[in-house]
A and B are shown apart, each in its own frame.
Chain A
Amino acid sequence: MTAETVAFTGVVAFVAALEEFGAEPVVESALVTYNVTPLAGALAGHEVRTGVGVDEVAPWPAVPPHWIHLPTDVAFAATNAGGSPMDGWRSHSRDIPAWGTAQVPVAAWLAHVRGVLAGAV
């Protein structure tokens, strides 16, 4: 068995999908980091670097990531936060609603992250 595996899923697929949306993804420190610009809230109009754990993207697109990793200067009024492998970052627990109903999973994911960032203070 020498055929190359064609990656339609996992990190490779997630990164490819983010690239298509111009989010400039990079795999670094066990995270896939990329840019999102929230449309509302304190950070509206500002490009924010955010990320998800590589391990969490392994089942993409069947299962979405859970933790949203952000620099510590992005703060929320209320959050259930955890650690991050990226220095100066921490992760925030957020459920994405209605997964599997969108035609383009990465568009649904970016909309979710944009919505989360709209709550930044």
Chain B
Amino acid sequence: MTSELDARTRSHLIRQDGQEDVCLATYAPSTGAQRTTAVLTDIVLPFEGERNVHGTASFTGRYVVRAASQAAANGLGIALMHSHPGGVGWQWMSGVDRKTERSYARVAETITGYPLVGMTVAGDRTWSARSWNSNRGYHDAESVRIAGTTLRVSWNDALRPAPPATSAQVRTVSAWGEAVQADLARLRVLIVGAGTVGLDLAIRLVQAGVQDVSVMDFDTVEEVNLDRLLTATHIDAALCRSKVDVALRAMRSAATARTPMLTGYDLSICEPQGQRTALDYDVIFSCVDRPWARAVLNQLAYSDYISLIDGGLAIEPFPDHGMRNATWRAHVITPGRPCLQCNGQIDGAQVARDRAGLFDNETYIRNAALQAPSRENVSLLAPAVTASMLGQFVSLIVAPGGLGAPAPLRFSLSTHTLEHMRVGTQAGCTYEQATGSGDQRPTLTKHHPTADAARRKREARARTAAVRTGRLAQNLIDKAAKAIQRAWGPL
């Protein structure tokens, strides 16, 4: 849920008199490749006579039917929420809680077509949740996310225990303590775009002990990438290694978690499968420059409350020689902060062109007399972008000084100034108006021919004898290196 909805719901459920209370909420399902999320959209407060507070709280069936009918009219499900004012941490249901939720599971399912979600908020603001099936009972949620300028996650320790800190992480843990590290290390983090900045981010995140880090990219390592792509070699380019493979190799070497869970997706975020995969994550780093890909990610930040950290580098060379300026920006895209379109980072018309395949259509580009997109990039400046984005990530998760993520930041190299960009949400912002739409979000994804072509080209080259032999030899060397590492001893 959004932090705004969290505050509103708690102001109803956590009473001054210390008694329990109850209310209903609506949610939109959000279906990932492996995870299903109930994206809460609003609370439905009880009318007079629909609930009774008497130490604990009870409510009428009429209230449930009213909320469920309201939800069904909008294609939503309902959540039954109650408070445990004296509770601390993830709450388990009492017998009465279980009986009450079970008794309304079928009503909710019949009217809305979606499972009843049960939620409990403890006095310390920790949420817990479960999803009911009227025939099979319930299953507990893994986490409850509160998205805003800080990302607050309530964890179900039974399903997603905190990874134990390792000896390699002592300095990191000392920066913010074990509790913060336990939250940070459990986040599911996806990096979309495993290029210069994306790969750097991936290495930093696994070094800091984030256990579950994944990368998504459909591109192949080429010679032209070697002046910036950390750990990539001439051999990788010659053997047509995917950027995802190179990233995973670097991440495995750098990971400090005891059991890192590192995954690579040879996908485009613009493909339906890429988007479904992204819906399994808590935080996404956007390291892509194309408008269509950024639009897809921008959308998920609002429709599905997946916090997005976007950044980029713009270099302005003089026409003949020399550099006029370089700027880099970083933004947390989340409910409560303006979207990428509102802060001028994507333009709807360019998203439409990109989605129509026109940026890769040479005939179209020639006829339209368009300039090829600028490709300047410098290894020496890329770490500044990485640092800006990681600073935003730490602000979002750790909230130093109790402050969360800032408004968009831009650093100008020529004048050495850091600007806090004063941008707000446009009145007609179609992304932020779709906040909480979950699976009802507009369909931005579709078949992505450029991604298909890149994968086919790599596969074709991989079938040549030279590449097959080279890959075999490199894989053997990698295995030998791993064996030596294992023999060296455990972490």
Contacts and interface: CB of A to CB of B under 8 A. Distances in A.
Interface stretch (A5-13, A21-29, A30-38, A41-49): A5-13
A55 to B, nearest CB: 7
Interface in A69-95: 80, 82, 93, 95
Contact of A97 (B341, B349, B367): B349
A64 interface: yes
Interface string B7-38: 00000000000000000000001000000000
Interface string B421-448: 0000011111100100100111110100
Q: What DSSP secondary structure best describes chain A's contact surface? A: loop
A20 to B, nearest CB: 16
Interface string B59-101: 0000000000000111101000000000000000000000000
Contacts of B299: 62
Given A6-B74, A58-B446, A104-B428, A63 B113 contact: no
B347 interface: yes
B349 A64 contact: yes
A99 B440 contact: no
A66 B434 contact: no
A21 B105 CA distance: 42
A9 B428 contact: no
B441 A3 contact: no
A63 B232 CA distance: 36
A100 B353 contact: no
Interface string B177-189: 0000000000000
Nearest to A5: B75
B112 interface: yes
A3 B72 contact: yes
Given A6-B74, A8-B437, A103-B427, A63 B348 contact: yes
A55 B352 CA distance: 11
A100 B342 contact: yes
Interface residues of A, number: 35
Contact of B75 (A4, A66, A96): A4
A66 B291 CA distance: 14
B358 interface: yes
Contacts of A9: 434, 437, 440-443
A67 B352 CA distance: 9
B351 interface: yes
Interface in B362-396: 364, 367-368
A61 B430 contact: yes
B355 interface: yes
A56 B349 contact: no
Contacts of A64: 348-349, 352
Interface in B325-345: 341-342
A117 B295 CA distance: 29
B57 interface: no
21 contacts: A1-B114, A3-B77, A3-B112, A6-B75, A6-B440, A9-B434, A9-B437, A9-B441, A10-B442, A62-B441, A63-B348, A63-B444, A65-B352, A66-B352, A66-B355, A93-B364, A95-B352, A99-B341, A100-B426, A100-B431, A102-B428
Interface of B: 29, 72-75, 77, 112-114, 295, 299, 341-342, 347-353, 355-356, 358, 364, 367-368, 426-431, 434, 437, 440-444, 446
Given A58-B446, A64-B348, 5 more contacts: A10-B442, A62-B431, A95-B352, A95-B353, A100-B430
Interface of A: 1-6, 8-10, 55-56, 58-67, 80, 82, 93, 95-97, 99-105, 108
